[in-house]
Amino acid sequence: MRGPSLYAFKGLAGRFAPIGVHAALLLIMGGATYSAIGGYHGTIMVPQGLNFMVGEAMYPAGFLSQPPDSFDTEVHINKFTIETYPNGEVSQFRTDLSLFNLRGQEVSRKVISVNDPLRYGGFTMYQTDWGISTIQIHVDGEGPFNLVAAPLQTGDNKLFGTFLPIGDNGLAGAKGISMLARDLQSVVIYDSNGAFAGVRRSGSEKPITVDGVTIIIDDIIGSTGLEMKLDPGVPIVYAGFAALMLTTVLSYLCHLQVWALQVDDSLVVGAKSNRNRAEFAEDLGKLLNFVPEIVRDRSMENIAPIISSTNEELSMQGTSAKMDNESSRS
């Protein structure tokens, strides 16, 4: 309030919140751009029991990519398992991982699964795929032998196969026993003519004789499919989303402004609102009802002309008397 003028406001946050919304959107886009040109990504399929270096499996995404010290971490696949539904379909697959530094010390260990990744040293490791690397068998009491499995079908209905050659026909006329597997539980076996020979579960130690060869399925060794990412802009994106939610809520607040100016006996009032204008106008009207009115005294207005007229008459009489005195002297 200054002199006869008055200014008041309410909900200043509602005025600047839309600016904050746009700033938050810019923050989100900036963080996403930084990840796109400054991050790393990579995918790898690793059999159970093997190791790999993080830095060897990841590739730069742009010219701002800078490898962190955690890229010297070695990852060991302790165990890979698959969970299935009662009908045999895959429901979940998990990988037991151990991370080692350059001194061979285990710095982290976790069992990851779909939607439950491992985070370490700025990078994130996701469980995304699976496969079968080898089928381990005993042949005629000798072994174990590892037969490399190749993918025959991909997608939801995965199928892997391997081949056990028999006889001395050479590569051109090779004949042998075929083995197919859809999961880590059992193997379907076919003889050299392609006829069905039987099914054996992994680790059952139950032999099967095919084309004169006795086979025992010892194990089905799986491979884990991992996706790795290094997104330096993720904290910026998260901060942008947090700011976006906050400023979006604040933008629903009403910013109200009222001006008032007293001119003589009159009061001039102006108001402005960015939301709910009809309701604000009604509330302002109720507020103005509490402002006292300045009422002029009508009786004084009627007396004022009489007093003025009397003063004029007295003044004229005084002037006339003065003129008479001057005439008599002359």
Examine residue 206 and state whether it is found in any structural domain, yes or no.
Answer: yes
Is the same domain home to 91 and 201? no
Residue 3 lies in a domain: no
218 and 172 within one domain: yes
Q: Number of folded domains in the chain?
A: 2
Q: Is residue 143 part of a domain?
A: yes
Same domain, 184 and 37: no
Q: What is the residue range of 170's domain?
A: 132-224
Domain match, 151 and 55 both: no
Quick check: is 184 in a domain? yes
Q: Quick one: which of 172, 163, 149 has its CA closest to 211? A: 163
* Rounded Cα gap, residues 148 and 205, in angstroms: 20
Answer yes or no: do 120 and 205 share one domain. Answer: no
Q: Measured between alpha carbons, how far is 14 from 219 in angstroms, rounded to an integer?
A: 66
Q: 132: closest CA among 219, 42, 226, 228? A: 219
**Considering the domain boundaries, does residue 78 fall inside one?**
yes
Same domain, 38 and 106: yes
Taking only the tens place, the pLDDT of each residue in 76-98 is 999 999 888 888 788 899 999 99
What Rg do the C-alpha atoms of the chain give, in angstroms?
A: 46
Q: What is the pLDDT of residues 9-48, one digit of tens each?
A: 888 888 899 999 999 999 999 999 999 999 999 999 999 9
Residues 83 and 73 in one domain: yes
Residue 150 lies in a domain: yes
Does the pTM surpass 0.75? The reply is no
Q: Identify the CA nearest to 114 among candidates 128, 103, 124, 101.
A: 128
d(CA 155, CA 101): 35
Residue 300 inside a domain? The answer is no
Answer yes or no: do 39 and 122 share one domain.
yes
